[in-house]
Chains A and B, each alone.
Chain A
Amino acid sequence: ILNVEQSPQSLHVQEGDSTNFTCSFPSSNFYALHWYRWETAKSPEALFVMTLNGDEKKKGRISATLNTKEGYSYLYIKGSQPEDSATYLCAFQGDSSYKLIFGSGTRLLVRP
Chain B
Amino acid sequence: EAGVTQFPSHSVIEKGQTVTLRCDPISGHDNLYWYRRVMGKEIKFLLHFVKESKQDESGMPNNRFLAERTGGTYSTLKVQPAELEDSGVYFCASSFRDYRQTDTQYFGPGTRLTVL
Residues of A near any B CB (own CB < 8 A): 4, 31-32, 34, 36, 41-44, 46, 49, 51, 89, 91, 93, 96-105
Contact = CB atoms under 8 A, between A and B. Distances in A.
A29 to B, nearest CB: 13
Interface in B1-32: 3-4, 31
Contact of B45 (A43, A49, A100, A105): A100
Contacts of A46: 104-107
A49 B102 contact: yes
Given A42-B109, A99-B56, A104-B42, A93 B104 contact: no
Given A98-B31, A98-B33, A103 B105 contact: no
5 A-B pairs with least C-beta separation:
A99-B45, A102-B43, A44-B107, A104-B42, A102-B42
Given A46-B106, A89-B43, A99-B59, A32 B101 contact: yes
A39 to B, nearest CB: 10
A46 B105 CA distance: 8
Contacts, number: 63
30 contacts: A4-B42, A31-B101, A31-B102, A34-B104, A41-B110, A43-B4, A43-B107, A43-B109, A43-B110, A44-B43, A44-B91, A44-B107, A46-B107, A93-B102, A96-B101, A97-B56, A97-B101, A98-B31, A98-B55, A98-B95, A99-B33, A99-B45, A99-B48, A99-B58, A99-B59, A100-B35, A100-B45, A102-B43, A102-B44, A105-B42
Contacts of B58: 99
Contact of B48 (A96, A98, A101): A98
Contacts of A104: 41-42
Interface residues of B, number: 27
Interface of B: 3-4, 31, 33, 35, 41-45, 48, 55-56, 58-59, 91, 95, 101-110
